[in-house]
Amino acid sequence: MLGVDPGDLADLRAADHLLTELAAGLALPEAGYAATHLVRTGRPRIALSFALPDEDAARAAWHRLTSHREGAAAGAALGSLRHGPAELAGSAAHAAGEHAFRRAGRAVRYPGSRALTGTLTVAALLAGCAVDRVAVLGAPSPAADPSQRVRTRGHVRPQWQEGRLVLAAMPAAGGVLVPFEEPEPTPCCADHG
C-alpha cells in the first residue's frame, strides 16, 4: 500500500484530480483501488493511498513517485520506506495503513467505479463494482432495498468502514437514491451577496 501526503490538499475535488493524475502516472491498473484520507493531525488536509497489485508494482510505483516528486514538499510511504518531510511521510503512512486494513478512506478508484453512470438498481450497483453495501441515511433500516434505484450522477465515492466498502446514499426526488456526496457541491455562502 502506497501513501502520499502532498501537504497542501484541502479540497476533495483537487484531491480527486491529483489522485487520478498520480494513478495514471503510477500505472495503477483499472481494477486497482485508490482513496483519499482526512489528515486530522497538524494542519487539516487530505492524503492519498494506492493499492498496487503486487510488491513489484508497488516498488516500481514508489520509484516513479519519489523520483518524480524529488524536491517537492510531499511525503510518501510504502511499508517501512518513507520519503519527504517527517510529518507528511507519517500521515502518508497513516493513510496507507487505514487503506490496507480497510478502516477508513474515501474510495475514488475501485473495481467497477468507471461504469457507475446513470441510474442503476442497488442490486446492479453492488453486482457491478467493489461496493459491498449501500446505506440509506435517515432510513429506519440503513440497508437499501436491492430493487431501489440509485441515480449515480457519475460520482460514487464509497468509504471503507470495518473492512467493507460502503456507499452512503440519501432519498431524492423521484423516489430514487443519490450518493450522499455531491459531485460539485455549492460553496458555502455562494448565494449570499
Rounded distance, CA 1 to CA 170, Å?
31
Backbone angles phi, psi at 58, to 5 degrees: -65, -45
Q: What is the pLDDT of residue 68?
A: 66
Q: What is the pLDDT of residues 180-192, one digit of tens each?
A: 999 875 554 444 4
Confidence of residue 42 (pLDDT cuts 50, 70, 90): confident
168 in Cβ contact with 159 (< 8 Å): yes
Mean pLDDT of 106-125: 97
Which of 29, 19, 77, 76 is CA-nearest to residue 52? 29
The DSSP H or E segment spanning 97 is: helix 86-100
Which residue type does 181 have?
E
46 in Cβ contact with 15 (< 8 Å): yes
Could you give the count of Cα atoms lying within 13 Å of 136 in the half-sphere of its Cβ? 18
